[in-house]
Structure 1
Amino acid sequence: MLRWFRSLVAAAVTAAALPASAQDAALSPATRFSAIQVDVRPLLARGLGPYAEGVRGELQAALARSFADRVGGPGPTLVVRVTGISLNPYAGSETRFGGGNATNTDYLEGEALVVDRRGTVLLRHPQLSATKASSGGAWYDPASERRRVTYIAEHYAAWLRRGLGLE
């Protein structure tokens, strides 16, 4: 028991000695980024090729809109690494009362990295967005899947801004 307590105290002292920026879970409200990049290499490694590039384009556009007032200048780079996307089959099976279940949910998973000019990761923020599979409109419309990707990318970008403390 005493050894556990000493370990706990040592960990607390070590954490207190870290610079404030390493302890913070959010950025300064005044933070500006020099650029925003979307990394889909994890999707490309799974053989998703052109689909991964489509996800990159939608998320890059959504981040540009969401962070428009935060880009420009000599600040760090915001890199969003997409580690997974799941668009579940949807055939209009959600209930009338807003119910539904996990099989009617789309997911976009990744992490935001705030990287300085030397390549040092200053902040890492993992995030999972979940939206209704019906977000793309009528399931039989050929453009539905593209609208679903656009919608979840917008959702991810908006919540990322909040998650980084820039709202």
Structure 2
Amino acid sequence: MTTRRQFLASTLAGAALALLPAGLTRAYAQAAPIGSIRVEFTRTVAEAWGDNVGLVRAEMEKTLAEILGPGFQRGAGNRLVVTVRSLWLASYAGGGGGGKPSDGGASNDYLESTATVYDRAGRQIASWPIMSTELSGGAGAWYLPDVDQRRLKALARNNAWWIRRYLAG
């Protein structure tokens, strides 16, 4: 007779085995160091955010270069291309409210991207969809004039850390 503990253990083991191919892809993407990082934007994001895309690009490239450490060696290995597909800031950046819309609710900012690793020949090695979420009030005082820029930088850093997590396996 199978006990509850054995059943749960076998279920968890099956789930882990189901994720194995994804783990192998990550390890393969990690075989060579990242030699270049490029952040690009879909046309709709670039048109909607104008000059702010430069701010997001600079922050994400800088953060990725820092956190990849020895895994980033300019000019060597694979190329990392991050395509920002969606960027959204909540209209309200004050503190959170209660659980109901009439209480103010929580406000989140979002950045959706796809991180793709290419080898030297331009073949895609791995690709991951990334969705970053930050509290709209998490970037500091909402009443300061640079609040939106701080929120965009926070989203870019958050997204970079998620990309690193997928690259590291």
Q: Per the shorter chain, which TM-score range?
A: 0.7 to 0.9
Verify the 8 A CA contact 1:40 1:53 in the aligned structure 2: no
Number of the residue aligned with 1:56: 57
Give the C-alpha shift of residue 31 in structure 1. 3.9
Q: Given the superposition, is the C-alpha separation of residues 22 and 148 from structure 1 closer, same or farther in structure 2, using an over 3 Å criterion?
A: closer
Alignment of 1:1-167 (within 5 A): 24-28=24-28, 31-42=32-43, 43-44=45-46, 46-72=47-73, 74-95=76-97, 101=105, 104-164=107-167, 166=168
Counterpart residue identity of residue 68, structure 1: G
What is the Cα-based RMSD across aligned positions, in Å?
Answer: 2.9
Counterpart residue identity of residue 36, structure 1: I
User: Which structure 1 residue ranges, 5 or more long, are not aligned?
Assistant: 1-19
Counterpart residue identity of residue 27, structure 1: A
Counterpart residue identity of residue 135, structure 1: G
Q: Given the superposition, is the C-alpha separation of residues 124 and 142 from structure 1 closer, same or farther in structure 2, using an over 3 Å criterion?
A: same
Q: Given the superposition, is the C-alpha separation of residues 22 and 152 from structure 1 closer, same or farther in structure 2, using an over 3 Å criterion?
A: closer
CA distance in 2, matches of 1:158, 1:125: 13
CA distance in 1, matches of 2:70, 2:23: 25
Verify the 8 A CA contact 1:22 1:123 in the aligned structure 2: no
Give the C-alpha shift of residue 56 in structure 1. 1.1
Number of aligned residue pairs: give it.
Answer: 144
C-alpha distance after superposition, 1:135-157 (max 9, x if no partner): 22111111111111111111111
Counterpart residue identity of residue 88, structure 1: A
Q: Given the superposition, is the C-alpha separation of residues 59 and 118 from structure 1 closer, same or farther in structure 2, using an over 3 Å criterion?
A: same
TM-score, L = length of structure 1? 0.73
User: Which structure 2 residue ranges, 5 or more long, are not aligned?
Assistant: 1-19
Number of the residue aligned with 1:5: none
Give the C-alpha shift of residue 121 in structure 1. 1.2
- What percent of counterpart residues are identical? 32
Q: What SS does structure 1 have at the residue aligned with 2:158?
A: helix
